[in-house]
Structure 1
């Protein structure tokens, strides 16, 4: 019998990206974030991180929410 990957919720399993990929995506928003900034957001919000082959993966949706809060806090 096959088992599914355990994730805290269904959306997290579908939009997992590396921190470098997320940083590249955020660059296009006009409010870029470095990998170290993304790591701070992960720690601050206690976000789920999955490590595969020496790379950290996190839900892009979770980071977008943290990004939104960070940008709103600047204004």
Structure 2
């Protein structure tokens, strides 16, 4: 599984399941439904998802990213 070794195992601010965009892109590539980093960034911006800066990275809720990917790839 493609996930960074430094991914926090605890909450980052209000996010209990933190993930970076790069990690999400790598994980989606393994599913057979890949998405580019630029596309995922665009989807996140349009959806208005909350990102939290910590440890030099911007973290998003993995659950929200998964739901966003599901809705965009398979329709709402």
- TM-score tier after normalising by the smaller chain length: 0.7 to 0.9
Q: Cα RMSD (Å) of the superposition? A: 1.8
Mapped pair 1:63 → 2:65? yes
TM-score (norm 2): 0.73
Alignment gaps of 5+ in structure 2: 1-10
Structure label with greater radius of gyration: 1
Per the TM alignment, residue 53 of structure 1 is displaced from its structure 2 partner at its CA by 3.2
Asked whether the 8 Å contact 2:13–2:52 carries over to 1, the reply is no
Per the TM alignment, residue 65 of structure 1 is displaced from its structure 2 partner at its CA by 0.7
Mapped pair 1:49 → 2:51? yes
> Aligned partners of 2:39 and 2:56: how far apart in 1?
19
Instruction: Report the equivalent of 1:21.
Output: 23
